[in-house]
Chains A and B, each alone.
Chain A
Amino acid sequence: MRYSHPIALALLASLSLAACATTQASDVPKPAAPVATAPFASTYTPRPSTPVIIRGGTVLDGEGGELANADVLLIDGKIAGVGASLAAPGGATEIDARGKYVTPGIIDAHSHLGVYPSPSLQATSDGNELTHPNSAEVWAEHSVWPQDPGFSRAVAGGITTLHILPGSGNLFGGRGVTLRPVLGARTVQEMKFPGAPHSLKMACGENPSRVYGSRNQSPATGMGNVAGYRQAFAKAQEYDRKWSEYRKKLAAYDAGDKKGDRPSPPDRDLEQETIAGVLNGEILLQWHCYRADEMALAIDISREFNFKIAAFHHAVESYKIADLLARENICSAMWADWWGFKLEAYDGIRENIPFVHAGGACAIVHSDSEVGIQRLNQEAGKALSDGRRAGLDISRSVAWTWLSLNPARAIGVADRTGSLTVGKAADVVVWSADPLTTYAVAERVYIDGALVHERGRDTTPSDFELGQTYRERAQ
C-alpha cells in the first residue's frame, strides 16, 4: 500500500472535513467502500542530489514571509534550513543568489498537460470522456501521455508539482492525479507524486448541459445538472452503506459470530467507488464552477450529502461570495484576467484573486492552459498589482502563497511541499528578478533537491521532440 493512511488523516484534519463525523459512525471501519487508490502505484523516485546552499537571495517562503539576504539549504531532497548565514555541509554546491529571488516551486492545481498534450490531434484529445454525464469511474492518469512537450515548458516556468484533471464536459469528469513534471519519464507512474490523494473533477454550468442537451439527453439545463449531482451522491451513499454493512457483518463474523456463510462483498462499481471516496473524505473534490450562484448551490449539495469541496475551479465570480467561501473553507483556483468567452465568464474582473484573498478565503492562481502554466508567476503579479490598485494591502510574499501553499492545500500535499519549510520537499526556484514581474525568469528549478532545469541549458527533450531536424539545427 503506497497510500499512507497517516497522511490521509492529516489531510482530513488540515482541511477540517466537516463531513467525516457524520458519515463515519465510530464502529464502522473507514472507508466503508473501497476507494482503490492503490493501483497504478507511483514509481517516482527523486533524482539523485547533493547538498545545495542557495546564498543571499530574497526569499519568499510561500507561507507569506519574506527574508532579505537569506540562505536556503537543501539536503537529501528536503529543505534543511532557511535563514541568514546558514552553515552548509562540506561539499555542498554553493549558488550565489545575491540580487535574485528564491521561492518554493509553483504548483498548478489545474492542468490538462498529458491528457490534452501537444501536438493537439484527434489521437491526443484524451481529457473528456463525453459518452455519459457521470464518468466518475475514469482516471485522468490513464490518459496522460508522458511525452507531452508541455511538461518541459512548465518546468522552465518554475512548476514543480501539477494536478492533472479530466475536462469539464461531464457532471462527474473522473479522477485527477498529482504529478511531478519528470522530464524523460517513460510512464505516468514515474511521474506520480507519491502518496498524493486522488481528486474528483466535477463541473457546473454551461459545459455539461451544452454537451448533453445538444444530444437531447440529460442534463440539458442547470436544474438537470443539479439533479444529476444529487442522484449520483444519493446512489453513492447507498453504495457506501452496503459496504459499511458488509464490513460490519464481516467484522462480526471474524470476531466469532459464525451464523451462516462468511459475508461476501457487494459488487464493485468504479463510478460509485470514486464518489463514495468523496463522501469518505479520501478523494478531494475539485469542482469547475464559474458563477457565484452556482457555487452556492454546490455548497448546499455538499451540506445535503455531507461532503467537502476542496476547491472551485475557474471561479470567475468568487469575488462576489468571498465571505461564503471563507466560511466554508473552500479554495478558489482562478485566472488573473480571463473573461467574456462565455456567459458564465462574463463577470470576470481583474481583482477576483485579490478580492477572494481579502475576503479571507483561500486564493489560488491556476492555469488550465499549456501556455499559462509557463508563467503563473506573472499571473500572480497581475493579481497582486490589481489588488493594490484597488487599495488592498497585499505583500508579494503573500501573493506567492496563491502559487504554492494554497494550491498545495487544495490538492492535499501541503504537508510535503508548497513552502520553504524545514522538512518539506526541496522544491525550489531561483529567479533572476522579482518573480511577480514580467522579465523574471526561472534560472534554476529544483524538485526534491535535484536540479531539473537550468536556464540556458537544453532541458531533456521528450522522445517526441528528440531528433526533430529543427532541434539539431538549433543546437
Chain B
Amino acid sequence: MIIRNALVAAAALLAFAAPAAAQSVLIKGGRVITNAGAPLERGDVLITNGRIVAVGANIAAPAGATLIDAAGKWVTPGVFAAMSEVGLSEISGSGAPNDASVSGALVSAAADAGRAFDPAATAVAVTRLEGVTRAAIAPSASGTVFGGRGAIVALDGRAESVFRQRSFQVVELGETGASRTGGSRTALWPTLEAALRDAREYPSRYRSGQGGAVLSEIDAQALQPFALGQGMFLVHIERAADIRELIRFALANPSLKFAIHGGAEAWLVADELAAAKIPVILDPMVNLPDRMERLAARLDNAALLHKAGAKFAIAPGPGSVDAHQARLVLQLAGNAVANGLAWDAAFAAITKTPAEIFGVGLDLGTLAAGRTADVVVWDGDPLEVQSAPTAVYIAGREMPLVSRQTRLRDRYMPKAR
C-alpha cells in the first residue's frame, strides 16, 4: 500500500520536523498526585507531544520547553466524569433540544450518545476549566429497560472528541426499569433475558420473520455486541435485594460485563460486590430515602465499600446526572472524604477508577510515563470547594480557562462597572 505508507511517512516527517521541545511542558515543583503511589511533595511532570514522558523530582527541562511553576500547587491527572450528559444539550429544559432524553419506542438500546455529542456545547468549556478532562456520556431512552449506548469523550472541544464510541449500554433494573415492564420487578428480569436472546439471535430471527420477543430489530442489532460480552452493561440499580439479584445473574452469565450506577444500598452487600468484582459508580451525597429503593442510603456508602475492598467510582446518582454540572464530581468526592473515605481513594474514584471501569485505565487516570497527558494544576486541594485549576492540559494541549460564564463574569465585574 504505497499511498498509505507515504501518508504515514509524511506524518512522521511532520512530527519530526516540528521542534520537539516546542511541544514540551515541564510542570515544576508541585504536590503531584500520580494515583500510582504516594504523592510527590515537590515533583515535576514532563509532557511531550501529548504524552507524559516523566514524573519525578528534579526533571531536567528539554531545550525550549515551557516551564510551569507549580510551587505550592497541586498537580493531578485530569478528572473523569464517570456519568454525565455533557455535550448532549446546550440547555436541558425550556423546550430546547435535549439529545440525552429519548422518548417514544422507536429506539432504546440503539440510542447512541457519541453521535449526538457536541464538543462546542457551552458546558464543555465550563466543565473542563474546573479540571474535568474526560466524561462518560449516556442517553436516557425510555422505551424499554435499555437507556442506550454511552460513549467516552474528551472535553477539549476538538472535532474528534469522542474516543470510545458505543462503549457501554445503560440498563434500568430497578424501580425505573420495573416501571417499563408493567410496573413490576417480576417482569423485569424475564424481559432482560428475552432481550439478550433477541440480540444474540439477531439477525436470524428477524430475517426469518419470527421477530424479537421484546426488542425491535434496530435495538436487537445495537444490543448484540453487549449481549455477546463485547461491551459493558451499566446497570442502574439501587436496592440491596436488586443488587443481589444482579450478582446472581452476573455469576450465571460470566461472559457479560457489568458495572452498577447508583448503588445507594451497595454498602449492605459490599462483600458480595467485592467478591463478584462488580464496580459501583455511586453518589456519596445520596443519603435520603427519596425512593423506596433507596431506603438504606447513607453518607458513608463509599467508605464502607472501600473498607470491603469493592471497586467504586464517584459520580452523580441516577436522577442527578445532567449536562451542566459534571464539575460537581469534585465536591462529591470531597464529601466522601468528609464522611470517612481516605483522600486517595476518593480522588482515585474520580480519575483512575472510572478510567478503569470504562476500559481506558491503561491510558488515563494516572500520571506516569507513557500515559496521555491529561494534567491539571490546582491552587489547592482539588477536593476542596474553594480550590480551582490554574492550568488544564488535555492530551498535552493547554486549555484556555475561558467559557461563556467567565465572559459574563468579566462583563459584569463590579470593579469594571
Q: Is B92 within 8 A of A322, CB to CB?
A: no
Report the minimal beta-carbon distance from A435 to chain B, rounded to whole angstroms: 11
Please measure, in the bound complex, the distance between the C-alpha atom of A110 and the C-alpha atom of B409, giving whole angstroms. 25
Which residues of the other chain, B, contact A40 by a CB distance below 8 angstroms? none
Q: Is B288 within 8 A of A149, CB to CB?
A: yes
Task: List 7 tightest A-B contacts by C-beta distance, closest first.
Answer: A470-B296, A340-B324, A342-B93, A385-B386, A438-B334, A343-B94, A358-B414
Partner pick for A339 among B94, B287, B324, B383, CB 8 A cutoff? B324
**A390 interface contact, C-beta 8 A:** yes
Which residues of the other chain, B, contact A119 by a CB distance below 8 angstroms? 289-292, 295
Q: Is A341 within 8 A of B92, CB to CB?
A: yes
Residue ranges of A at the interface with B (Cβ–Cβ < 8 Å):
118-121, 149-150, 153, 206, 319-320, 322, 337-344, 346-351, 355, 358-359, 370-371, 374-375, 378, 381-382, 384-386, 389-392, 436-441, 464-465, 468, 470, 473-474
Q: Is B405 within 8 A of A437, CB to CB?
A: no
Q: Is A349 within 8 A of B405, CB to CB?
A: yes
Known contacts A153-B288, A385-B386, A436-B386; A338 and B414 CB within 8 A of each other:
no
Residue ranges of B at the interface with A (Cβ–Cβ < 8 Å):
90-94, 96, 122-123, 126, 240, 265, 268, 285-292, 295-296, 298, 320, 322-325, 327-328, 331, 334-335, 337-338, 383-388, 405-406, 408-409, 412-415
Q: Chain A at the B interface: mostly helix, strand, loop or mixed?
A: loop
Please measure, in the bound complex, the distance between the C-alpha atom of A359 and the C-alpha atom of B325, giving whole angstroms. 27
Known contacts A342-B91, A385-B388; A320 and B288 CB within 8 A of each other:
no
Q: Is B408 within 8 A of A391, CB to CB?
A: no
Please measure, in the bound complex, the distance between the C-alpha atom of A355 and the C-alpha atom of B383, giving whole angstroms. 24
Known contacts A119-B289, A474-B298; A382 and B386 CB within 8 A of each other:
yes
Q: Is A348 within 8 A of B94, CB to CB?
A: no
Partner pick for A371 among B240, B288, B296, B388, CB 8 A cutoff? B288
Q: Is B383 within 8 A of A390, CB to CB?
A: no
> Given A340-B126, A344-B94, 5 other A-B contacts at CB below 8 A?
A337-B325, A338-B325, A340-B324, A342-B92, A464-B289
Please measure, in the bound complex, the distance between the C-alpha atom of A348 and the C-alpha atom of B386, giving whole angstroms. 18
Which residues of the other chain, B, contact A440 by a CB distance below 8 angstroms? 338
Which residues of the other chain, B, contact A350 by a CB distance below 8 angstroms? 405, 409
Chain B's closest residue to A124 (CB) is B290
Which residues of the other chain, B, contact A149 by a CB distance below 8 angstroms? 288-289
Chain B's closest residue to A356 (CB) is B414
Chain A's closest residue to B265 (CB) is A470
Please measure, in the bound complex, the distance between the C-alpha atom of A390 and the C-alpha atom of B385, giving whole angstroms. 16
Report the minimal beta-carbon distance from B291 to chain A, rounded to whole angstroms: 6
Q: Is B412 within 8 A of A319, CB to CB?
A: yes
26 contacts between A and B (CB under 8 A): A119-B291, A121-B292, A149-B288, A153-B287, A206-B94, A320-B412, A338-B325, A340-B92, A340-B122, A346-B91, A349-B408, A349-B412, A350-B409, A355-B414, A375-B335, A382-B385, A382-B386, A384-B386, A385-B387, A386-B388, A391-B415, A437-B386, A438-B335, A438-B338, A439-B384, A470-B296
